[in-house]
Amino acid sequence: MRMPAEWETHERTLMAWPSNGYTLGETEAEANRARQTWANVANAVVRFEPVTMVVTHADVEIAKHYLDDRVDLVTMDLNDAWMRDIGPTYVKDDQELVAVNWVFNGWGAQSWATWNFDDQVATNLADVFVTRRVDSPMINEGGGIHVNGQGTILLTETVQLGQGRNGDWTKAQVEAEFHRLLGTSKAVWIKRGLTRDYDEFGTRGHIDIVACFSDENTILYHDQQNPEHPDFEVSQEVRRTLEQGTGFKLIPVPAPKVLTDHEGPVDYSYINHYIVNGAVILCAFDDENDEVAKTILEDAYPGREIVLVDARELFARGGGIHCITQQKPA
């Protein structure tokens, strides 16, 4: 089996509509901002490829109000709305599409998380699309991995080997399970993720705001250039790790200039973009580096339109554009 790279052709994008808990917020105004932001991403993606939005029965009419008519709706129960993490990871077995179903436990059984519905989403979607499913005993989320489609996977030690996930697994066992299911043969481990990602609603280090492949030979990485931000040291550490014998071309992508919000240092990252057919949906932050990042990605993804979507409301809830999308390969 082989997990196609994200830039390979998609059949569609899968998403989940925000319907519960902290993702919606505590007021109707916060809920409306969440809904509008999720819809902005879906409506940007559907310009380039089909989008299927998973939505609870109670929220169908609300979702329709915000979403482009071209977005397909599928109803099922949800706890949260981070499809990258709760949905299946799709691989190819020769030409057959296979849905890998990881164990999902609320990002390491965090106290604020519930997952009695979300841990069934991958299984339910495999049924909806009549896709063969392979179950893994490993706790993992889609935001915790990036592959180049040619044998290499990027990982973070504090995710697969961290608190609340696979505490009794060795690094070799984790690598072997990914190699078995994703067709990889080489793992590149980053020691830790961005600082804010270890706060209350963080994932404890997902790779998809730290580093990603832009092609089979190139890695983009988050470059916090201001020494006053704690991620300055993280970025230096990531760069040193990636320089040590990986053999990949490295492209730093500067972090936004903004350093903090009302809760402390931000983890705003342009790395958390999503590649679709003919385009890249890029997180924007109303920041002077938005255009800098757009220019870098135009060079990294030649021939693709770079579409900016304001992602501040996503990051305020613990994620970004890549975190709420999941590709279903063609």
| Residues acting as catalytic residues | 323
| Alpha carbons 261 and 263: distance in angstroms, whole number | 5
| Alpha carbons 218 and 227: distance in angstroms, whole number | 26
Whose tokens are 């890695």? That residue is 219
| Alpha carbons 5 and 9: distance in angstroms, whole number | 9
Helix (H, G, I), strand (E, B) or coil at 127: helix
The beta-carbon contacts of 90-95 under 8 Å, at least 24 apart in sequence, are 90/3, 90/4, 90/131, 90/327, 90/328, 90/329, 91/1, 91/2, 91/3, 91/4, 91/181, 91/182, 91/183, 92/1, 92/2, 92/3, 92/4, 92/329, 93/1, 93/132
Which residues are bridge partners to 1 per DSSP?
Answer: none
